[in-house]
Amino acid sequence: MKILGIESTAHTLGFGLYDSDNDEIFQVKDMYKTPKGEGMVPRKVADHHQQVAGRLIDILTSKYSMKDVDAIAFSQGPGIGQCLQVGAFITRLFALKYKIPVIPVNHCQAHIEIGKWATGMRNPLIIYVSGGNTQIIIQEDEEYRVVGETLDIGMGNLFDALGREIGLEYAHGSVLEMMAKRGNYIPDIPYSVKGMNFVFAGLLTHASKRMTGKYNNEDIVYSVMHNAFAEVAEAAERALCLSHKKEVLLCGGVAQNKMFQKMLYKMAGYHGARFAVPDNEFNADNGAMIAYTGYLRYEKGITIPISMVKPRPKWRIDQE
Ligand code: FE2
């Protein structure tokens, strides 16, 4: 069976294909880069997706014939409404033209499923960190349950905003990670864990109001990253002890950060749990994870009619 997957929740438009007969994955994508000092402007990102869609589809169809595709999966949410609209539109177009069923996929679940596929984990404690989301998740029976999460912004958005605040031209996580390596810890910066949940906005406010000009950027970046990671690690450790899981999976865009990986590796090892993180190609948004998760859902008989192919910008992983 071959399932096509479309990802368009935020900065990346991606197409992927999962071939269940060979357990093989293919993907092609293009990411919108925000201009200096600017956050993601939904209209501009959606324009980008429309402009690159044709080229990406050409690449995909030069490798696979659409006539061999059995169903199409699309990232229905959570995400930016205008970007999701582009993915939904392409999905409707393909579904009508090739008369194939449509599978709605939750973007967060897709990060987790491809993470399990890539690492061979079966039932891990999941730490999901992306731009808009930061959640600690466990799977019970067939359902995902959020046991801890950010009470304000996602970790990726915290770092993007921090990058803009200190005037970086390209506030990508990898740039911040390089800076953090040269930084020293600033004492007395906020650290806020509330039970299994955590708060990041205070870190940003403190960094922009009290630290800029007083400390160098490397120290600021290192200290904000350190405390943000430590907050999540503390809550995850509590969740690990309570859930008695034997595996810890880190996934999502921010999972690429080595400092975060090391902190969680130590924490998991201390409790005798295996820690793993998928390759960067799967942590970054991509269409392959949508295709693969679409396959898993299709096997359960989950499809929707064309009239329901609409964005769900606030779709949580613990909702149907
Ligand atoms: Fe993502």
CA of 271 to the centre of ligand 1 (A): 28
CA of 79 to the centre of ligand 1 (A): 9
Q: How many domains does the chain have?
A: 2
- How far apart, in Å, do the first and last CA atoms of the chain sit? 25
CA of 189 to the centre of ligand 1 (A): 28
CA of 17 to the centre of ligand 1 (A): 17
Q: What CA–CA distance (Å, rounded) separates 159 from 98?
A: 42
CA of 82 to the centre of ligand 1 (A): 16
- What average pLDDT does the chain have? 95
36 and 88 co-located in one domain: yes
CATH number of the domain within which 190 lies: 3.30.420.40
Query: Within a domain: residue 318?
Result: no
CA of 214 to the centre of ligand 1 (A): 34
CA of 296 to the centre of ligand 1 (A): 18
pLDDT in tens, 13-34: 999 999 999 999 999 999 998 8
CA of 166 to the centre of ligand 1 (A): 25
CA of 284 to the centre of ligand 1 (A): 6
Q: What angle do CA 219, 223, 228 make, to 5 degrees?
A: 155
pTM equals 0.94
pLDDT in tens, 53-77: 999 999 999 999 999 999 999 999 9
What mean pLDDT do residues 164-173 have?
A: 79
CA of 109 to the centre of ligand 1 (A): 10
Res 171: pLDDT: 65
156 and 259 co-located in one domain: yes
Q: What CA–CA distance (Å, rounded) separates 149 from 304?
A: 29
What mean pLDDT do residues 253-281 have?
A: 97
CA of 293 to the centre of ligand 1 (A): 14
10 and 138 co-located in one domain: no
Res 190: pLDDT: 93
Asked whether residue 169 carries a pLDDT value surpassing 80, the answer given is no
126 and 64 co-located in one domain: no
Q: What CA–CA distance (Å, rounded) separates 135 from 43?
A: 27
**What's the Cα-to-Cα distance from 63 to each of 20, 60, 294, rounded to whole Å?**
16, 6, 20
CA of 302 to the centre of ligand 1 (A): 22
Res 38: pLDDT: 78
14 and 137 co-located in one domain: no
207 and 226 co-located in one domain: yes
Query: Within a domain: residue 317?
Result: no
CA of 261 to the centre of ligand 1 (A): 17
98 and 138 co-located in one domain: no
Range of the domain at 33: 2-111+282-308
Q: What CA–CA distance (Å, rounded) separates 255 from 312?
A: 24
Beta bridge partners of 103: 73
CA of 187 to the centre of ligand 1 (A): 32
